[in-house]
C-alpha cells in the first residue's frame, strides 16, 4: 500500500532538527534562520540585531541508535552584546526605572551561550502515520565576560533577571525537556519546561510554554500559546504568565522554478521528519536530486 500524508514538519526551534538547506525563515519576533547546509543553520533577528548584536549557530552532529532507539544530537552556540539594549531601556523607560537607576552605568559585557540538544521519537513517523511525540532534552549554560569595571544593573523581574544576572558577570546553567507532535494535517503542538540556575544553585527559575502551530500553504506558519515563569529573585518571588505568538514566512532560495512554479513540486514544509539522517541518507538524497536535475534537462 502506498501512503503519502502531507504532514507538517516538527519545527527546529528547541529540537535537534535544523532548518532545511538553503531555506530562509523570517519570524516576526524570533530570530530569522537560514540553513547553510543540511546539517547547519545560522540565526539572528534582522531588526533586534541593531539593538542587541547577536548571532547563533546550530549544528546537527549525528543520528545514532542506542538500546534499539534512534536519537539525534545537535548543539547550538551564540554570542550577544546587550550594551545598546540596556542603554535603550534606561533611556526609554520600559517599566524598570524603579529597578535600574537612570544614572547607573551601562557596562560593556559580552555573553556566551552554548547548549547540547538530544531528540528522540516515542514512535517514528512513516509515510502512513503522523509523528507521535518527539521528546527533546537540552543542557546548556550562559556566561558573561566583563569588558570594563562598571557593574551591571540587574533587572529584578522574572525572565529578564537571568539575562542581566549573566552580565554580573556570572554563570547561568539550564536544563529542559520538550514535547512536539502533530495534532492533524494542519496543526502541530508543543510544550516544554526549563530550569535555570544562577551561579551554581543560588537563585533559580522555572519557565515553560505550550501552544499550537498552524501552517497555511508552503510558506506561511504561525503559533500561539502561553508562557509561564516562576523565579526566586533576591528578596522577592516573581510569577508571570503571558501569551506568546509569532508568524513565520519561509523562502526556499535553492528552488528551481519555471514561470514561478516548482519543477519538482517540492513543498518546503513537507521535509523529512525522520531522525534517521545519517551521512548515507544525505548522500542518497543528493544523488536523487542530481538525477532529477538530469531528467529535467533531458
Residues 74 and 132: beta-carbon distance below 8 Å? no
Q: Rounded distance, CA 276 to CA 196, Å? A: 31
Q: Under 8 Å CB-to-CB from 25, ≥6 apart: which residues?
A: 19, 32, 33, 34, 248, 249, 250, 251
* Tens of each residue's pLDDT in the chain, 298 residues: 445 455 677 778 889 999 988 999 999 999 999 999 989 999 999 998 998 899 999 999 998 888 888 899 999 999 998 878 777 776 666 555 445 555 666 778 889 999 999 999 887 666 566 556 899 999 999 998 887 776 666 777 778 777 777 877 778 999 999 999 888 778 899 999 999 998 777 788 999 999 999 988 778 999 999 999 998 877 666 888 999 999 999 998 875 544 443 433 444 444 455 555 555 544 555 555 554 555 454 4
Domain boundaries, the chain: 23-297
Length of the chain: 298
Residues 255 and 263: beta-carbon distance below 8 Å? no
Look at residue 1 in the predicted model and tell me its pLDDT: 45
Residues 171 and 136: beta-carbon distance below 8 Å? no
Look at residue 215 in the predicted model and tell me its pLDDT: 87
Look at residue 295 in the predicted model and tell me its pLDDT: 46
Cell of 267: 513543498
Q: Under 8 Å CB-to-CB from 206, ≥6 apart: which residues?
A: 193, 194, 195, 196, 229, 230, 231
Look at residue 122 in the predicted model and tell me its pLDDT: 82
Amino acid at each position: 500500500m502506498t501512503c503519502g500524508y502531507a504532514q507538517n514538519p516538527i519545527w527546529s526551534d528547541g529540537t535537534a532538527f535544523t532548518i532545511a538547506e538553503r531555506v530562509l525563515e523570517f519570524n516576526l519576533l524570533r530570530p530569522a534562520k537560514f540553513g547553510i547546509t543540511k546539517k547547519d543553520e545560522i540565526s539572528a533577528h534582522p531588526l533586534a540585531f541593531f539593538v542587541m548584536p547577536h548571532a547563533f549557530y546550530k549544528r546537527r552532529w549525528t543520528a545514532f541508535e542506542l538500546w534499539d532507539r534512534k536519537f539525534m544530537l545537535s548543539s547550538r552556540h551564540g554570542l550577544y552584546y546587550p550594551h545598546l539594549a540596556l542603554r535603550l531601556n534606561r533611556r526609554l523607560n520600559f517599566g524598570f526605572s524603579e529597578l535600574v537607576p537612570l544614572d547607573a552605568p551601562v557596562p560593556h559585557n559580552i555573553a556566551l551561550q552554548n547548549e547540547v540538544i538530544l531528540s528522540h521519537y516515542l514512535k517514528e513517523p512513516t509515510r502512513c502515520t503522523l509523528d507521535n511525540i518527539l521528546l527533546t532534552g537540552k543542557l546548556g549554560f550562559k556566561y558573561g565576560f566583563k569588558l570594563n569595571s562598571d557593574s551591571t544593573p540587574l533587572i529584578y523581574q522574572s525572565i529578564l533577571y537571568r539575562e542581566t544576572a549573566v552580565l554580573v558577570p556570572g554563570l547561568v546553567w539550564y536544563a529542559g525537556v520538550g514535547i512536539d507532535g502533530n495534532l492533524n494535517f494542519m496543526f502541530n503542538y508543543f510544550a516544554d519546561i526549563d530550569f535555570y540556575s544562577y551561579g551554581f544553585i543560588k537563585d533559580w527559575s522555572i519557565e515553560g510554554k505550550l501552544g499550537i502551530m498552524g501552517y497555511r500553504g508552503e510558506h506561511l506558519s504561525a503559533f500561539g500559546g502561553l508562557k509561564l515563569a516562576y523565579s526566586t529573585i533576591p528578596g522577592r518571588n516573581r510569577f508571570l504568565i503571558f501569551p506568546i505568538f509569532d508568524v513565520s514566512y519561509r523562502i526556499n532560495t535553492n528552488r528551481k522554478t519555471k514561470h514561478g512554479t516548482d519543477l519538482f513540486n517540492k513543498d518546503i514544509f513537507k521535509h523529512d521528519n525522520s531522525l534517521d539522517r545519517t551521512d548515507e541518507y544525505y548522500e542518497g538524497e543528493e544523488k536523487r536530486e542530481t538525477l532529477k536535475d538530469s531528467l529535467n534537462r533531458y
